[in-house]
């Protein structure tokens, strides 16, 4: 029994988020197992992004509970949750566009860096070594996504195209070696082919990091089918179905509410 419960990395119990009279999440119970890739799908406005927001501490829950491992993070501030090993991307790109790619990626590694004033201002040598280490790691990660990207490490993020910005965001989420990564529509705006590539990249990196748990929100069913171990389908803030993608996709309720006839 204990081994089973330690198997669950994140669980939400009766999680509710309200905006005025609107229930964006309604008594939601979701378990995320250690090391799995969980697909979160559902119609527009069903609460997927809200779920990611509330577990990463951006929104606060109106009711219910979220446990990360054994820690109750329901009322925790976002920065504390992050230090438990959680990172994410955003549905709408949130890079600091005027900063360099490197600065943006370094943010992802923030919790592993030495932020002391003494270290940063006075011990410039050791600071430089640290910066060099992050730069090397960032180059390595970027290289996996796009061999041309490492050369743009010190270009401002605004000079990148949309796709490359998404890639940088994913790198930012991965560089801090998190336990749990939340990806919100990583493939939006890409062609099928490009989507496939991103999938491969994510899977590759997951392998190289080992034991990374991912929650992925997508409307691109091909991607979901290929990467997820398990899917949860939301509608109106409620879980309407859960299971392997193939089973979920066959569910008539899901077809009716989400997939359409295709």
Partner 1 sequence: MSGHLTVENIFTAYDRADVLSGISIDVQPGKITCILGSNGAGKSTLIRSILRLTPPRAGSIAFEGKTLDQMATHEIVGLGIACIPEGRRIFAKMTVEENLRVGAYLVNAEKTVKARLGKVYEVFPRLKERAKQLAGTMSGGEQAMVSIGRGMMTDPKLLIIDEPSLGLSPLFVQENFNIVRRLNETGVTVLLVEQNVNQTLAIAHYGYVLSQGKIIVQGDSEMLAKNEEVQSAYFGGAH
Partner 2 sequence: MGMIGQHLLNGLMQGTIYGLVAMGFTIFFGVMNVIKFSHGDVLTLGAFGGLVAVWAANALGLSVPLQFIVALCVAMALTAVVGAGISHFLIMPLRNAPPLNMLLMTMMVGTAIREAIRLFFPNGTNPQRFPELLPAGGFNIGPSFFRTDAIILIIAGAASIGAVYWIINHSKFGLAMRAVAEDTETARVMGINFGRIIPLTFALGSITAGFAGMIYALYYSEINYSMGLLLAVIGFTAAIVGGLGNIWGAIIGGYLFAGLQTFVVAAMPSMSDYKNVFAFVLIIVLITWRPTGLLAERGSERV
Partner 3 sequence: MTPTSRTLVRVPVWPLFVAVAFAAVALTALVLIENQKLLGAALAITAAVCFCAARFGGVAAMEVAASENPWLLRGLITVASLAVIFVLRDDNFGLLMLATVLIYATICLGLTVQMGYAGLTNFAAAAFAGTGGYTAAMLGRQGGLPDALVLVCGGLVAVFIGSLLILPVLRTRGHYGALTTMAFGVMFNVFLDANDFFGGPQGLKLPGINLFGWDFTNDIHIFGLVLSSYVNYVILTGILTALAMIFVGLLDRSWVGVWFDVVRLDETAASVFGLKIAYWKVLAFTIGNFLAGLMGAVYAKMTGFIAPANFTFGDSLVMVSIVILGGIGNRWGVLPAALIVVLLPEKLQFIQEYRLIFYAVLVIAILTMRPDGLVARRVRKLHTETSA
Ligand X SMILES: Nc1ncnc2c1ncn2[C@@H]1O[C@H](COP(=O)(O)OP(=O)(O)OP(=O)(O)O)[C@@H](O)[C@H]1O
Tell me the C-alpha distance between 6 and 246, whole Å.
27
Residue 92 has φ and ψ, to the nearest 5°, of -95, 125
Identify which of 140, 138, 174 has the alpha carbon closest to the alpha carbon of residue 155: 138
Contact (CB, 8 A) for 69 and 49: no
Task: Sketch the per residue contact string, 54 through 73, with partner 2: x for CB under 8 A, - otherwise.
Answer: ----xx--------------
Backbone torsion region of residue 14, taken as left when φ is above 0, otherwise alpha when ψ lies between -120 and 50, otherwise beta: left
Contact (CB, 8 A) for 138 and 153: yes
Residue 50 class from Cβ within 10 Å (0-12 exposed, 13-18 middle, 19+ buried)? buried
Contact (CB, 8 A) for 243 and 39: no
Min separation Cβ 13 and partner 3, Å: 23
Q: Which of 7, 194, 229, 247 binds partner 1 (CB under 8 A)?
A: 194
Q: Which of 10, 68, 81, 90 binds partner 2 (CB under 8 A)?
A: 90
Q: Which is nearer to ligand X, 71 or 162 (CB)?
A: 162
Task: Sketch the per residue contact string, 37 through 56, with ligand X: x for CB under 6 A, - otherwise.
Answer: -----x-xxxxxxx------
Angle at 85 between CA 62 and CA 123, to 5 degrees: 125
Q: Which is nearer to partner 2, 94 or 192 (CB)?
A: 94
Is residue 193 near partner 1 by the rule CB under 8 A? yes
Is residue 156 near ligand X by the rule CB under 6 A? no
CB atoms within 10 A of CB 260: 7
Q: Which of 75, 77, 94, 124 binds partner 2 (CB under 8 A)?
A: 94
Min separation Cβ 204 and partner 1, Å: 16
Is residue 130 near partner 1 by the rule CB under 8 A? no
253 binds, among Mg ion, partner 2, partner 1, none (CB under 5 to 8 A by kind): none
Q: Which of 12, 26, 46, 49 binds Mg ion (CB under 5 A)?
A: 49
Identify which of 180, 188, 234 has the alpha carbon closest to the alpha carbon of residue 36: 180
Residue 193 CB contacts under 8 Å (≥ 6 apart), including other chains: none
The count of chain residues that interact with partner 2, using the rule CB under 8 A, is 8
The stretch near partner 2 (CB under 8 A) out of 61-69, 90-98, 105-113, 198-206 is 90-98
DSSP state of 144: H
Q: Which is nearer to partner 2, 58 or 135 (CB)?
A: 58
Contact (CB, 8 A) for 39 and 218: yes
Min separation Cβ 71 and Mg ion, Å: 26
Task: Sketch the per residue contact string, 80 through 119, with Mg ion: x for CB under 5 A, - otherwise.
Answer: -----------x----------------------------
Q: Which of 26, 46, 53, 195 binds partner 2 (CB under 8 A)?
A: 53
Contact positions vs ligand X (CB under 6 A)? 19, 22, 24, 42, 44-50, 91, 161-162, 189
């Amino acid at each position: 029994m204990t081994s089973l419960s330690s198997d669950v990395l994140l669980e939400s119990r009766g999680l509710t988020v309200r905006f005025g009279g609107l229930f964006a999440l309604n008594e939601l119970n979701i378990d995320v197992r250690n090391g799995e890739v969980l697909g979160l799908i559902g119609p527009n406005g069903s609460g997927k992004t809200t779920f990611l927001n509330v577990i990463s501490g951006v929104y606060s829950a109106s009711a219910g509970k979220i446990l990360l491992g054994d820690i109750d993070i329901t009322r925790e501030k976002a920065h504390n949750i992050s230090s438990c090993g959680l990172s994410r991307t955003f549905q709408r790109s949130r890079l600091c566009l005027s900063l360099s790619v490197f600065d943006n990626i370094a943010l992802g590694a923030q919790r592993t860096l030495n932020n002391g004033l003494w270290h940063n201002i006075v011990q410039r040598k050791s600071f430089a070594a640290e910066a060099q280490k992050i730069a090397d790691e960032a180059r390595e990660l970027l290289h996996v996504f796009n061999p041309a990207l490492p050369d743009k490490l010190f270009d401002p993020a605004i000079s990148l195209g949309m796709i490359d910005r998404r890639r940088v965001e994913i790198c930012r989420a991965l560089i801090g070696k998190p336990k749990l990564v939340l990806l919100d529509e990583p493939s939006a705006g890409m062609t099928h082919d490009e989507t496939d590539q991103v999938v491969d990249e994510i899977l590759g990196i997951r392998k190289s990091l080992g034991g990374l748990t991912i929650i992925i929100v997508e409307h691109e069913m091909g991607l979901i089918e290929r990467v997820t171990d398990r899917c949860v389908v939301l509608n109106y803030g409620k879980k309407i179905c859960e299971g392997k993608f193939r089973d979920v996709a066959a569910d008539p309720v899901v077809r009716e509410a989400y997939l359409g006839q295709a």
